[in-house]
Amino acid sequence: MGFRKDFLWGGATAANQYEGGWQEGGRGPANTDVMTKGSKDQARGVTYVLPDGSEHLTRGVAVKDLPKGAEFKVLEGYTYPSHEAVDFYHHYKEDIALFAELGFKTYRMSISWPRIYPTGMEEEPNEEGLKFYDDVFDELHKYKIEPMVTLHHFEVPLALTNTWGAWADRRTIGCFIRFCRTVFERYKNKVKYWLTFNEINNIYFGFLSSGIPADDMNITMQAAHHQFVASAMAVKLGREINPDFRIGCMLAASRCTVYPATCNPLDIQKAWEQAGRQYFFTDVQCRGYYPSYQLKFMERNGIHIHMEDGDEEILKEGTVDFISLSYYRSMITSATPEKGSDPLLLGAINPYLKATEWGIAIDPLGFRITLHNLYDRYQLPLMIVENGIGAADEVGEDGVVHDDYRIDFFRSHIQAMKDAVELDGVDVMGYTSWGPIDIVSAGTGEMRKRYGFIYVDKDDENGGTLKRTKKDSFLWYKKVIASNGEDLD
């Protein structure tokens, strides 16, 4: 009973939300560096210039109706949260020491692609960037923390977006594989666990997740195909470089947790279809081929993707070793959604659940159901690499954040994961909470939406000392890890 002895407890971050140092050590700009701050009521912006020199901002994580000749660029007068983020670049020793104090067995992080290949197109990597991650991995190993590395966490060299539309173009595969070869070879004795594409099914958020300068289903699905091929090639290559590597895919599993609003079969069919739009990604990465229902869906909706000779072989040969996933919430949907609701993103409000300040439904039982479904579907080990609650923490008069709500969230979700293991027999390898330290929000670019056990003194206007302080949840999570998930009080 309980979790495996070697259960991988830890926390997860992403370079574009945590690292900062955007122009240091030879790093090039990324798609995420031209994204401005938003809020819960206003989408993030993306800045660009036109050939006539005029400067513009378009709102939305998927870029719509872009004028011809637009070049994405950092402009004066805007706040770009990724540039400094919370400066892991200069604080990594201090932060890793805090992760060690929490008892982390693993730390999931991403390598910033433009830190290694500044434009994505160079023949040779940037040694200073490689050295930075060497130092980070060495620091982790000093505390016996196993790194788990995401190769693509929403971040693409901006030059690839400006030159040919990033993943919309097949040439990006070659650039990505060159990057993978470099880091696999360099860190083959320092990193064992790798994830290919973070939340691959969030490619629907074109610009934010993959640097795609368009909002068009044909382009999105073609780009997804390029990512499938790149993921499979990376898996194959990684295994050749070190047969001990364990390489996983990564799914935003909240999007598969879609409940029908009523027991009307039409609602049930709708929920099933919407979950299918997400599961299909894992189907390809775990089974090695496109499922028939997705091929039919694309045919019905006039979505045509171009596959090259040999792609089917590549997909077959590059299936993953395990499935990693994020889970934050469940969603509901109806065949007749109320006017204005967005069935793919949020669905309607679930009256049986409470929600966070950002409208995220809190559903631990949905977590267990999701784990059960995924395991049943693929029979592969599951690694939960993101789970957590974004909240506007207040620092108390004693200088400490008393975040009981966060402890409650984690307690109920870790219990649900335990139920999945003990009651449903799901094989779970480990659990890394999202943002164990406060970082920039991907969706809104805010600092105000905090996930951490560690508070960072930084505000939405780029102010603050960057000082790190432990919240109440810090001690609680430490105890959970020390007891291998037995003590959740």
Give the span between the Cα atoms of 449 and 315, in whole angstroms.
Answer: 38
Distances in Å between the alpha carbon of 297 and those of 291, 303, 315?
A: 10, 8, 20
Which of these ranges, 271-279, 334-342, 411-419, 441-449, lies near ligand BG6 under the rule CB under 6 A?
A: 441-449
Pick the piece of the chain touching ligand BG6 (CB under 6 A) from 61-69, 223-231, 283-291, 442-450. Answer: 442-450
How near is the Cβ of 14 to ligand BG6 at its closest, in Å? 5
Among 58, 441, 458, 485, binds ligand BG6 (CB under 6 A): 441
The residue nearest ligand BG6 at its CB is 443
Structure tokens at 415: 């219990």
Q: How far is the CB of 262 from ligand BG6 (least distance, A)?
A: 28
Q: Choose the stretch contacting ligand BG6; rule: CB under 6 A; options: 122-130, 300-308, 345-353, 440-448.
A: 440-448
- In whole angstroms, how close is the CB of 72 to ligand BG6 at the nearest point? 20
Q: How many residues in the chain? A: 489
Among 19, 139, 155, 199, the active-site one is 199
Assess 199 for contact with ligand BG6 (CB under 6 A): yes
Out of 386, 393, 403, 438, point to the residue binding ligand BG6 (CB under 6 A). 386
Query: Counting contacts by CB under 6 A, is residue 438 touching ligand BG6?
Result: no
Judged by CB under 6 A, the chain residues 97 through 116 that form the site for ligand BG6 are: none
CB of 316 to ligand BG6, least distance (A): 27
What's the min distance (Å) between Cβ of 290 and ligand BG6?
A: 24
Nearest Cα to Cα of residue 430 among 351, 374, 485: 485
Here's the x/- map for ligand BG6, 241-280, by CB under 6 A: it reads as -----------x----------------------------
**Closest separation between CB of residue 437 and ligand BG6, Å?**
12
Spot the catalytic one: 19, 84, 155, 386.
Answer: 386
For position 445 contacting ligand BG6 by CB under 6 A, the verdict is no
**Any catalytic annotation for residue 386?**
yes
Select from 274, 283, 268 the least CA-distant residue to 255: 274
Beta bridge partners of 252: 326
- Give the range of 217-225, 265-273, 291-299, 437-445 binding ligand BG6 by CB under 6 A: 437-445
390 near ligand BG6, judged by CB under 6 A: yes
CA distances from 328 to 262, 355, 364, 447 (A): 22, 11, 9, 18
- Give 43 or 268: the residue with its C-beta nearer to ligand BG6: 43
3-state secondary structure of 117: coil
Q: How many CB atoms lie within 10 A of CB 143?
A: 14
Which part of the chain contacts ligand BG6 (CB under 6 A), choosing from 138-146, 277-285, 439-447, 460-468? 439-447
Q: Are 281 and 196 in contact (CB under 8 A)?
A: no
Residues paired with residue 213 on neighbouring β-strands, in sequence order? none
| Residue range at the interface with ligand BG6 (CB under 6 A); choices 30-38, 43-51, 443-451, 458-466 | 443-451
Q: How far, in Å, CA of 129 to CA of 132, rounded? A: 5
Under the binding rule (CB under 6 A), the answer on residue 14 touching ligand BG6 is yes
Q: Based on CB atoms, which residue is closest to ligand BG6, 19 or 169?
A: 19
Distance CA 268, CA 259 (A): 8
**CA 472, 443, 485: angle at the middle one, nearest 5?**
35
Shortest spacing between CB 443 and ligand BG6, in angstroms:
3
With beta carbons less than 8 A apart as the criterion, state whether 176 and 155 touch.
Answer: no
Could you list the beta-strand ranges (E) of 435-473: 454-456, 468-470
Q: State the pairing for strand pair 454-456/468-470.
A: antiparallel
Task: Spell out the residues 6+ positions from residue 352 whose beta carbon is closer than 8 angstroms to its own.
Answer: none
Residue type, 356: T
In whole angstroms, how close is the CB of 108 to ligand BG6 at the nearest point?
Answer: 10
Q: Which of 387, 369, 386, 410 is nearest to 198 (CA)?
A: 386
Measured CA to CA, the distance from residue 258 to residue 260 in angstroms comes to 7
Of 286, 320, 383, 442, which one interacts with ligand BG6 (CB under 6 A)? 442
Q: Could you tell me what percentage of the chain is helix, strand and coil, using 3-state DSSP and rounding each to the nearest 5?
A: 40, 15, 45
Q: Does 449 help bind ligand BG6 (rule: CB under 6 A)?
A: yes
Q: Which two tokens stand for residue 381?
A: 């080990």
Q: Does 60 bind ligand BG6 (CB under 6 A)?
A: no
Q: Which is nearer to ligand BG6, 421 or 447 (CB)?
A: 447
Could you tell me the CA-to-CA distances from 427 to 2, 135, 149, 382 in Å, in that order?
11, 33, 21, 6
Told to check if 385 binds ligand BG6 by CB under 6 A, we report: no
Task: Select from 415, 228, 237 the least CA-distant residue to 311.
Answer: 228
Of 434, 453, 455, 476, the residue at the interface with ligand BG6 (CB under 6 A) is: 434
Asked about 199 being catalytic, the answer comes back as yes
Q: CA-to-CA distance for 16 and 435, rounded, in angstroms?
A: 12
End-to-end CA distance of the chain: 18
| Interface with ligand BG6: number of residues (CB under 6 A) | 14
Which stretch, 274-282, 316-324, 361-369, 436-444, contacts ligand BG6 (CB under 6 A)? 436-444
Contact status: 326 vs ligand BG6 (CB under 6 A): yes
Catalytic residues: 199, 386
Q: By CB under 6 A, name the binding residues for ligand BG6.
A: 14, 17, 198-199, 252, 326, 386, 390, 434, 441-444, 449
